[in-house]
Structure 1
Amino acid sequence: MDLAYLRAHPQHLPTFLTHQRIRETPVGGGDVCVASRLTLDDGASLFTKTWPSGTAPEHFFTTEAAGLQWLRQAATVPIPEVFVALPEMLALEWIDPGPASPAAAERFGRELAGLHRAGAESFGAGWPGFIGPLTQDNTPSGGPWGPWFAERRLRPYLKISADSGALPAADVAAVEQVILRIEEYGGEEPPARIHGDLWPGNVLWGADGRAWLVDPAAHGGHRETDLAQLGLFGGAPHLETILQAYAEEWPPTDGWRDRVPVHQLHLLLVHTAAFGGAYRSAVRAAADAALRK
């Protein structure tokens, strides 16, 4: 199997793998999927993702493919090409890793502004939503942003976290206060075309000197959500360079840094919902910071 054959017959890839007709090398793939590097007969490499056991949730891989293709349409930040999107597997263009240089960070900031400026028809998306292993309500909405974000991006994961015991009552109450005050946190902008899960691990610094975006939960949302998520879990390399270049291309609305904790709450609640109480303190700190504004 070479790349030309794969483009014409993507549905055959699982069969070739089952019969060990393609060289497969395990690679790190994150907390959710099993990842491999495939080497085809023409020397081309692919990055593949499969569900670790049993059957993947319905639409899981086709949703990611739809998001990647939608982000690629903006022709700004580089996004890996999708070669295979099947219920059991996703196969993407392989990106050779490289250093996270200041020059790459500056270019990324400008390109991210371009991606956001490409816009979206509505909040949400025209495909089912997933973020990590969890579903996400992508039902299109005309907004406004605040109530949509509260009901589609905060409250569902707050409920899962509360029901599982990952967040105690006092922490739940703090997040509820943020939800009640959601219209105080801006949101007049129209929907931007956002990655939606832009923690630093989903920025792949390539050997070509560019920053590539992977593993999206792509949808129409608020551009400040992507900017805020870049600061999570230690922050992206050269974060201030990224943000300065972004601001030179398309300045965020005044006071956006004060709103960072509100936007970070979404992904932090996803983590307590999916992975438990280890992220409890981060949720509470973000909620408390938001309530001080």
Structure 2
Amino acid sequence: MDDFLKHAPNAPTGYVAAEAAGLHWLAEPKAVPVVEVLEEGKDSLRLARLESVSPTPEAARELGRGLARLHDAGAPAFGFAPAEPAFFGPLESPFPVATDQREDFADYWAEDRLRPLADRVTRLLGADGHDTVDEAIDVIADGAFDGVSGQGAEQPARVHGDLWAGNVMWTASGASLIDPAAHGGHRLEDLAMLALFGAPHLEEIFEGYTEVHPLPDGWEQDLPAHLFFGLLAHVHLFGEGYVDRAIATAEAIIARADALGA
């Protein structure tokens, strides 16, 4: 068969349309392979079938190059989504996310993404843990991570939005993106999500990225601030098993901001 049917009868209204719009938007710049939408139904998507192969270092470098080109294609604003409503999370339990369009990364990331999610998981974090998470969000809200490694504020990038390793399909013709939560965001969001649980040939992905879009020294130390949403989402979706890592990440964000002099 040359297609794959993704059936989502129990997904919230708008979920299928949001995924289809996200795939089209990511494919638009022709920067990186994106699974093709063949047909969109009320509660299903018919997608081109991808046959997986083992990833190679060169395929990983080309994925990095493609991601840099995709991000450089830009977005109208931070928080922009190609369809509304917008969602994050697995097919079985996605949750809605804000689509307010912001000029500043700090406002979008802290107020529209992180703080609402932290409030949802207050009980799981505990009083001390929530205080630490709040302090990290305050640091982000103050603009510590608007740029990369403390340098000039980034413009909105065209990001996949949920780019953990499971949403990259390695094929004979290279890596393709699937299952996006596409939006206008910070370019480090996708790289951070790849790093969150590890991806094959991660360093080669980073090498390819910086070939196309050089990043300043120390940029990888900024990644905790950009994977924080994905980690808090895992606390919300999957429970207390992710709490310790979320709190440790909050501490790393605070320490990085101190090192940057923010």
Determine the C-alpha separation between the residues in 2 that align with 1:70 and 1:136: 18
Give the fraction of aligned pairs with identical amino acids, expressed as a percent: 42
AA of the residue aligned to 1:74: P
TM-score (norm 2): 0.89
Aligned to 2:112: 152
Q: Is the 8 A contact 1:204 1:213 kept in 2?
A: yes
**How much does 1:247 deviate?**
0.6
Structure 1 unaligned blocks of 5 or more: 1-38, 40-44
Q: Is the 8 A contact 1:224 1:252 kept in 2?
A: no
Aligned to 1:217: 181
Aligned to 1:134: 95
Q: Is the 8 A contact 2:25 2:82 kept in 1?
A: no
Determine the C-alpha separation between the residues in 1 that align with 2:172 and 2:40: 25
Determine the C-alpha separation between the residues in 2 that align with 1:241 and 1:289: 24
After TM superposition, list the pairs within 5 Å mapping 1:163-178 onto structure 2.
165-178=123-136
Aligned to 2:74: 119
| Residues 109 and 122 of structure 1, relative CA distance in 2, 3 Å threshold | same
Q: What whole-Å deviation, never above 9, does each CA across 1:212-256 have from its counterpart, x for those lacking one?
A: 1111100010001111111011x1111111101111110124432
- Alignment of 1:206 onto 2:167: no
> Segments of 4+ in structure 1 off by > 6 A?
none
After TM superposition, list the pairs within 5 Å mapping 1:57-206 onto structure 2.
57-124=12-79, 125-127=81-83, 128-132=85-89, 133-141=94-102, 143-162=103-122, 165-182=123-140, 183-187=143-147, 188-206=153-171
Determine the C-alpha separation between the residues in 2 that align with 1:246 and 1:57: 35
**How much does 1:260 deviate?**
0.7
Aligned to 2:206: 243
Q: Is the 8 A contact 2:65 2:212 kept in 1?
A: yes
Q: What whole-Å deviation, never above 9, does each CA across 1:156-208 have from its counterpart, x for those lacking one?
A: 2111111xx32212121111101111111233111000001111111111122
Pairing partner for 1:229 from 193, 205, 228 = 193
Determine the C-alpha separation between the residues in 1 that align with 2:249 and 2:108: 19
Aligned to 2:260: none
> Counterpart of 1:185 in 2: which secondary structure?
coil
After TM superposition, list the pairs within 5 Å mapping 1:256-267 onto structure 2.
256-267=219-230
TM-score (norm 1): 0.80
Q: Is the 8 A contact 2:104 2:146 kept in 1?
A: no
**How much does 1:85 deviate?**
1.9
- Alignment of 1:284 onto 2:235: no
Determine the C-alpha separation between the residues in 1 that align with 2:37 and 2:214: 32
| Structure (1 or 2) with the larger CA radius of gyration | 1
Determine the C-alpha separation between the residues in 2 that align with 1:277 and 1:150: 22
Determine the C-alpha separation between the residues in 2 that align with 1:55 and 1:211: 29
Q: Is the 8 A contact 1:64 1:215 kept in 2?
A: yes
**How much does 1:126 deviate?**
4.0
- The count of residues paired between Structure 1 and Structure 2 equals 243
**Over aligned residues, Cα RMSD in angstroms?**
1.3
Structure 2 unaligned blocks of 5 or more: 148-152, 257-262
AA of the residue aligned to 1:160: R
AA of the residue aligned to 1:231: A
Determine the C-alpha separation between the residues in 1 that align with 2:216 and 2:111: 23
Q: Is the 8 A contact 2:161 2:190 kept in 1?
A: yes
Bigger relative CO (Cα 8 Å, ≥ 6 apart): 2
Q: Is the 8 A contact 1:84 1:91 kept in 2?
A: yes
> Counterpart of 2:231 in 1: which secondary structure?
helix
